[in-house]
Structures are given as C-alpha cells and as structure tokens.
Amino acid sequence: MRSRRDWFVDIAFFLFAVVFSLVTAESVHLDEDMSGGEQIADQVTGGLACASVFLRRRWPVQLAVVLMLAGTHFHHLTGATLVALFTVAVHRERRVTGWVAAVAVVQFLVFLTQGPDAESEAASSALTYFALVAGAIGWGLYVRSRRALIASLEERAARAAGEARRQAREEIAREMHDVLAHRLSLLSVHAGALEFNPGAPAADVRRAAEVIRNSAHQALQDLREVIGVLRAPTAGPDGTEGRPQPTLADVERLMAESRETGIGVTYHQEARDADALPAAMGRTAYRVVQEGLTNARKHAPGTEITVTVSGRPGKGLTVAVTNPLPDGPGTAIPGAGQGLIGLGERAELAGGRLEHGPRGGSFLLRAWLPWDGAKEMDR
C-alpha cells in the first residue's frame, strides 16, 4: 500500500505531467491535416497518460514503453513519459533502464532516417523531446546512485555502531572480570579454608571471617563503582570520570592485600622512571598483576608468587607473574576462563603482547607494553 509520502509524490508527478502538457500545448507541432476530432482525441489521450502516472509504481517499465510508442502518434504524452522514464531509472536495475533507453534511441534513429528539415518546427520539437527523455533518464540514474550511496553510508554507520557496542560490551566484561575476580577469589579461598578446617582456633576463624567480610565489602564497592561508570551520562577525555583507575603505584597495595590473607608474594619493582609511566599503561600493568595473583590463588594455592616489573622509557615495560606449578589439581574456585583472553586483548589494544604458560616447573604470565614509542622487541 502507498504511504502518505507515496501519495504526495504521485500527486506531485501527476500535476507535473498536467502542467507540462498545458504549458507546451501551443508549442506542440500538430499536423496541418489533423481534424478537430483527432485533436480532441490527442488531448484526451494526454489526459489519460497523465492519470496513468499513478500506475508507475506497479508497472513502470510497461508504462514507459507504451507511452514512448504512443508518443509517435499523439503529441500530449511527453510529461507522463518523462515521469515514467524517471521512475524506471530510479527503481529498476540499470540493465532494465538500458533496454528502455534503447527504445528511445531507436525512436530517435527512426526520426533521423526520415530526413526531416533541420529548420522545421517538427524537427525542433522532436529534438527537444529526445533531449528531455535523456534528461529524465539521467536524472533518475543520479537519484538512484545517490540513494544507493546514502544506503551504503547508513549501512556502514550501522555496522560501526554495532562494532562500537560490541567493543563496549567487551570492555565492560573485561572491567567486571578484572575488578571482581580478584576480590571474589580471596573470599573463596578463605571460605574454603573455614569449610575444610571447622575446628580452627577462634582467632583464626575471626581473622578469616574478617578477610571474607572485607573482601565482600570491597567487591560490592568495586561493583558499585563500575555500575556508576556505566550510568554516568558522559566520561572524561581519558574515560575515567567517576572512578579512579588503578596505576602501577597501586600494585604495592595489591601486594599488601594478598600478604594480609596469608599468601606469599614477592614484589620486585625494577622499572626506571616509574613515575613517568603513562596512566593507561600503568592501569594495564596493574590488571596483569591482578589477574596473575587471581589465577595463582585459583590453580596453585599456597605457592609463593613472584611479581617483577621492569623496563624503562624507550625499551618498554615488562610485567611478569610467576608461581610454582602445583603438585595436584587447584581449588574448585569457578571461573569463566575469560581472564587471560581479556588480558591479552588489553595488551594488544595497548600495542603490546601477552604470553603465558608453564616455564621450567613454574607458570609464567608475562606482558610487554610499549613505553614512549618503544617497538616490540624480539621474543
């Protein structure tokens, strides 16, 4: 069914065809031998042609061909013919438009073979007619190309918006994992200790319960902060509005939290000019250490963890987390297995690389990040 806009456009084209026929009526060449009845028939046919404009959406090709062929015998069909040709060029494939244009070319060639007097009124009218036909087809092709271009740009914009939403979801997932996994793993370790050692001294039970309470409280606080960022209408230029982001200096606090829970952690900070480290790189380094500690607690509880941060401007920053491989299976702390994947994506977005796996009896998690334009070194 036609929409309101379609009806508006069809009426506008109908009025165009009518006005065109009226304006050009006196300049249309009529045969001197044409009787009054034939002139009336010509005018009636022109009126029907104008009315046929409302059929252009259903049968544009058929309408255009019929009007062009009928135009060789009737003189008031030009306006409707131009509308039909324009419709074909806009709404049909270029191949179909080419065949319709070929009919007009044949008509023009036939006209030339008749050898009309170049200065006659008939020749002038015919040449004007064919010029208008070419203009209608050309304008229709232009409109079709413009619509195709706009549709292509809208499709690209939709794809770009979808890609942006996908990247935003992945960033949210990485942030949620990095923020909560560390806290919840601490909570799980101590809750498991209470479960398997119900007869522990009261002091140890109180200490473990305090750690569980503090970890749960901090996890809820971290969750509120992340949700607050998602609800914020805007973000600062560095994307940190409403939520202070961790830096390399916060790794010391991360070490202290782990030691307070009874986990053995050794930290070596060997990076030169660490205070000059860009905030984004410091945040990525912090997430590497955080994920390394979380994985060690999950899969190798009770082992000594070593964290080393080294590098300098121009050479890049290297963050390494190592722990001995466990003798048996790790704890039953659940995980989605997405931490290292998200961490690798973080490192890649920062222009660096991430590697992890067993190395000589230990598990190694190591990230290299560019610092002040440093290029990736050979492995």
Does 100 fall in a domain? yes
Does 220 fall in a domain? no
Q: Which residues lie across from 323 on neighbouring strands?
A: 363
Alpha carbon distances (Å) from 19 to 8, 11, 13, 49, 78? 16, 12, 10, 13, 11
pLDDT in tens, 154-191: 889 888 888 888 877 777 777 777 767 777 777 777 67
- Residue indicated by tokens 């440093």: 374
378 near 360, Cβ under 8 Å?
A: no
122, 257: one domain = no
- Residue indicated by tokens 């334009």: 373
Give the sign of the dihedral formed by CA 251, CA 253, CA 254, CA 260: positive
Q: Please say which residue of 107, 133, 157 terminates a domain.
A: 157
Q: Tally the domains of the chain.
A: 2
Does 300 fall in a domain? yes
pLDDT along the chain (379 residues), means of 10: 81 86 66 65 80 86 86 78 89 88 83 64 72 88 90 89 80 71 71 72 77 76 69 50 72 84 85 85 88 83 88 90 77 56 83 89 91 52
What tokens appear for 168 in the block?
A: 């935003």
Provide the residue range defining the domain that includes 336.
248-379
Q: Please say which residue of 130, 157, 184 terminates a domain.
A: 157
Query: For position 142, what pLDDT does the model report?
Result: 92
Does 181 fall in a domain? no
pLDDT in tens, 247-290: 888 888 888 887 876 778 999 999 888 888 888 888 889 889 98
Report d(CA 364, CA 250) in Å as an integer.
Answer: 21
Does 117 fall in a domain? yes
Does 71 fall in a domain? yes
What CATH code is carried by the domain that includes residue 329? 3.30.565.10
Report d(CA 340, CA 336) in Å as an integer.
Answer: 10
Q: pTM, whole model, 2 decimals? A: 0.48
